[in-house]
Amino acid sequence: MLSKEEIIKLFETEMWLFIDGSLSEDRIKFWEEKISEYPELKEMLIETNQVLEIYDKHSEVEIDSKYYKEVIEKTISQKTLGEKVKLLFGIRSDKSANENGTLKIAFGSTLVIASIIIFMVSKTPNPVKNISAELLEWNPEEITEQIRDAQITFNFIKDEEAKKYVLEKISNDEWSSDVYQIGSKIKQMNREIEENKF
């Protein structure tokens, strides 16, 4: 048997379920009896309702109707991704059983087609393949021969005639080439005179 204080304490929390109508019929009946038995419980219930009524009366806020209209219009005009895909493929928004399957097939097909087109259109060379081909074509004998040719070319350039040839090729000016050659000869003669002094 609960004391009066215990009942009041219990009602403080259970009162909310009583107001909500969330209690079982037996429990509602139990509290109805207690409320008529103890005026403190009735007073608690009345005061609580009074507080809630005051709050409800003074907490009403009206949203700006223009703003509300804008929000609703903006929201309704938004399409979800699924709706966009449906529109793209002309799928109607009825509730057919195959709706999801059709949608998935259509979306998947688009991805496959797009992948194939991108693959065919793309002209980007594959650097890995090119490097591999060069490495496979490497011939040691040919490389050795190229090195020997380069050596001959260097020796040839040492020769004065070759210098003249090169100068002519570069400058395309015979006069400059002759002047250079005469200059070289004079330098060579000076060197020989110096060497013969001793």
Alpha helix (H) ranges present in the chain? 4-20, 25-37, 39-58, 65-77, 81-89, 99-121, 127-136, 140-158, 160-171, 174-196
The DSSP letter of residue 163 is: H
Q: Which two tokens stand for residue 34?
A: 């207690």
- The least distance separating another protein from the CB of residue 41, rounded to whole angstroms, comes to 14
47 vs 174 by CB, closer to another protein: 47
- The least distance separating another protein from the CB of residue 117, rounded to whole angstroms, comes to 32
Longest Cα–Cα distance of the chain, Å, equals 147
22 vs 132 by CB, closer to another protein: 22
- The least distance separating another protein from the CB of residue 18, rounded to whole angstroms, comes to 11
Q: Which bin fits 143, alpha (ψ -120 to 50), beta or left (φ > 0)?
A: alpha
63 vs 112 by CB, closer to another protein: 63
- The least distance separating another protein from the CB of residue 33, rounded to whole angstroms, comes to 21
- The least distance separating another protein from the CB of residue 64, rounded to whole angstroms, comes to 8
Q: Which two tokens stand for residue 25?
A: 């019929």
99 vs 168 by CB, closer to another protein: 99
92 vs 123 by CB, closer to another protein: 92
Q: Give the interface with another protein as residue ranges (CB under 8 A).
A: 12-17, 20, 22, 47-48, 50-52, 54-56, 58-63, 67-68, 71-72, 74-76, 78, 80, 93, 95
Distance (Å, whole) CA 161 – CA 182: 12
